Structure 1
Amino acid sequence: MVVRPLNPGEVDAVAELIHRSTNDWYKKSLGREIFSGRPRDCRIFPETYESLDPGCGLVVELDGKLAGVCFYHPRETHVGVGIMAVAPEYARQGVARMLLDKVLAEAGTLPVRLVSSAMNLDSYSLYTRAGFGAVMAYQDMRIPSDAPLPPVPMTHGSVRPATTADLFPMVDLEENLAGIRRAKDLAHFIQNPGGHWRTMVYRDQSGKIDGWLTSVDHAGCRMIGPGVMADEHVALALLHAQLSVPRGGWPIFLVPTHESYMIAELYRWGARNVELHLMQVRGPYTQPTGLVMPSFLPESG
């Protein structure tokens, strides 16, 4: 097996690998597929990752075929591990561990963060054996299309679309509340390449930004997140604003399991649980002082 950088001409092959590998696991383990569209819809993953971090996509080649793929994101405060997929026919042959070892070597002394399914014990074991620890649990939730949203939650601030002038206040807020900094990601969300990103900020009465939340609406990924907020009231206002925008389908969003007030309110909105995910970290970790809603694209924990 050989680990090497992803070549530009392999985007379609990587998209097909992500589609096939992920659907294979979900169908065998949970009786359903996660990607309902075409394999090429999963191009959004390599295209986004390569746009943000050229050369940080890794593949394992075995006998001239792509056996696995993984993406990583070097940031100011940490390294994020993005989607990892292994072709079903190469499962349990050390492909994922080979990719992870390469990412850890590239990370050096920086903390490494990821979000992974709590229902996939193989991946959980892969990461914990490599020194990761689970630091936060999330409920994947979705509001069905037949559940009308309630009125806008009452707050003392307002929600509006993010602009380039908001970039560094947003970056600073995430560092203050969650202990990580990733200006490159936030600039990508605001600039909206491809037209499928939507980012909103919450401002209090003085005009200070107390939260932000982005989303992606694409056939390969419909999700609200990532975002950080000062408290659950800000989070609910931002989430309501995102859910109120017409989309191609109803997205999922991740809510910390300990946020009981927010979760109870979301149940009142008609939300249902879809899955559970864990934030796992290797290295130093600071407990957030605000509310964090992560995403799978791009993952940074």
Structure 2
Amino acid sequence: MVVRPLNPGEVDAVAELIHRSTNEWYKKSLGREIFSGRPRDCRIFPETYESLDPGCGLVVELEGKLAGVCFYHPRETHVGLGIMAVAPEFSRQGIAHMLLAKVIIEAGKLPIRLISSAMNLDSYSLYTRAGFGPVMVYQDMHLPTDAPLPPLTATSGTVRVATTADLFPMVDLEENLSGIRRAKDLAHFIQNQGGHWHTMVHRDTSGKIDGWLASVDHAGCRMIGPGVMADDMVALALLHAQLAVPRGGYPIFLVPTHESDMIAELYRWGARNLELHFTQVRGPYSQPAGLVMPSFLPESS
């Protein structure tokens, strides 16, 4: 087995692998599929990562078939590890370990961050054996209804759509609040590459940006996040505005489990829990000074 870069002509095969592998695990473990659409909908993962970082998609080929795939994303302050999938027929043959080992080599001295399911102990063990540790727990939530959103209980400041002029204030805010910097990601969101991104900023009463929140609305990934905010009231204002945007389905969003006031308000809106996820980090990590809402595409934490 050899780990090699993803070839452009393999995007459809990778999409099918991600769709089949992920759905099989969820159906076996949780009794439901996570991808309800076509395998080709999962093209959004290789297409997004290759757009951001060409050549950072890795595959393992075995017996003439794609046996595994993962994506890594070099950033200014760290490396993000994106979606990883192994074909069910090749499970427990060390493929995920090989892919992860290659990413660790590519990262060098930079910390590596990822978002992983708290339900998947095989995945958890893979990462912790490689030196990762869980540093934050999130509730995956959604509003399974078209009913109107209740009004915010309290708010100050204003929410509007992000523009290119907001890019570096947003980048600086994330670095100040959570210690990471990733200008390429934020530029990708604001420019709406692919036509399925929507990004909003929150300004305080003085006009300063104190929060931002992106979202993706695509059949392969319908999610609100990533975003960073000064506090839970800013987070609720941004999330409320994002939930009001017409979409093709019900998006999920990740909320830190320790944000009890925010979660109580989301329950009042009608939100329900779907799953739990960890942020796991290999290398230095500092707890954020504000509130972080991560995403799966591209990975953020």
Instruction: Give the aligned residue type for 1:250.
Output: Y
Hey, what's the Cα distance between the residues in 2 that align with 1:61 and 1:20?
16
Please say if residues 14 and 46 of structure 1, whose CA atoms lie closer than 8 Å, have aligned partners that are also in contact.
Answer: yes
Q: Specify every segment of 5 or more residues in structure 1 that has no aligned partner in the other structure, as ranges.
A: none
1:265-280 matched pairs, under 5 angstroms:
265-280=265-280
Hey, what's the Cα distance between the residues in 2 that align with 1:55 and 1:217?
25
1:126 aligned onto 2:160: no
Please say if residues 72 and 82 of structure 1, whose CA atoms lie closer than 8 Å, have aligned partners that are also in contact.
Answer: yes
Root-mean-square deviation (CA, aligned residues, Å) is 0.7
Please say if residues 67 and 95 of structure 1, whose CA atoms lie closer than 8 Å, have aligned partners that are also in contact.
Answer: yes
1:43-82 matched pairs, under 5 angstroms:
43-82=43-82
Secondary structure, aligned partner of 2:148:
coil
Deviation (angstroms), 1:114 = 0.2
1:229-252 per-residue CA deviation (whole Å, 9 max, x = no partner) reads 000000000000000011000100
Instruction: Give the aligned residue type for 1:18.
Output: I
1:138-287 matched pairs, under 5 angstroms:
138-287=138-287
Hey, what's the Cα distance between the residues in 2 that align with 1:21 and 1:222?
19
Hey, what's the Cα distance between the residues in 2 that align with 1:234 and 1:205?
12
Hey, what's the Cα distance between the residues in 1 that align with 2:147 and 2:287?
34
Secondary structure, aligned partner of 2:55:
coil
Hey, what's the Cα distance between the residues in 2 that align with 1:195 and 1:289?
32
Hey, what's the Cα distance between the residues in 1 that align with 2:83 and 2:220?
13
Deviation (angstroms), 1:87 = 0.2
The normalised TM-score by structure 1 is 0.99
Hey, what's the Cα distance between the residues in 1 that align with 2:235 and 2:153?
10
Instruction: Give the aligned residue type for 1:252.
Output: I
Which one is further off, 54-63 or 150-159? Answer: 150-159
Which one is further off, 149-158 or 283-292? Answer: 149-158
The normalised TM-score by structure 2 is 0.99
Deviation (angstroms), 1:147 = 4.1
Hey, what's the Cα distance between the residues in 2 that align with 1:153 and 1:54?
44
Task: Report how many aligned residue pairs link the two structures.
Answer: 301
Hey, what's the Cα distance between the residues in 2 that align with 1:166 and 1:108?
31
Instruction: Give the aligned residue type for 1:251.
Output: P
Hey, what's the Cα distance between the residues in 2 that align with 1:174 and 1:221?
23
Which residue matches 1:114? Answer: 114
Secondary structure, aligned partner of 1:102:
helix
1:98 aligned onto 2:125: no
Deviation (angstroms), 1:155 = 1.6
Hey, what's the Cα distance between the residues in 2 that align with 1:58 and 1:221?
20
Secondary structure, aligned partner of 1:194:
coil
1:47-94 per-residue CA deviation (whole Å, 9 max, x = no partner) reads 000000000000001122100000000000000000000000001100
Secondary structure, aligned partner of 2:194:
helix
Hey, what's the Cα distance between the residues in 1 that align with 2:15 and 2:169?
34
Query: Structure 1 runs of 4+ off > 6 angstroms?
Result: none
Which residue matches 1:26? Answer: 26
Hey, what's the Cα distance between the residues in 2 that align with 1:271 and 1:152?
14
Identity, in percent, stands at: 86
1:89 aligned onto 2:105: no
Which residue matches 2:35? Answer: 35
Please say if residues 133 and 281 of structure 1, whose CA atoms lie closer than 8 Å, have aligned partners that are also in contact.
Answer: yes
Deviation (angstroms), 1:152 = 3.9
Hey, what's the Cα distance between the residues in 2 that align with 1:153 and 1:58?
46
Secondary structure, aligned partner of 1:193:
coil
Hey, what's the Cα distance between the residues in 2 that align with 1:179 and 1:50?
25
Hey, what's the Cα distance between the residues in 2 that align with 1:79 and 1:146?
37
Q: Specify every segment of 5 or more residues in structure 2 that has no aligned partner in the other structure, as ranges.
A: none
Deviation (angstroms), 1:146 = 4.4
Hey, what's the Cα distance between the residues in 1 that align with 2:146 and 2:163?
32
Hey, what's the Cα distance between the residues in 2 that align with 1:210 and 1:201?
8
Hey, what's the Cα distance between the residues in 2 that align with 1:172 and 1:131?
29
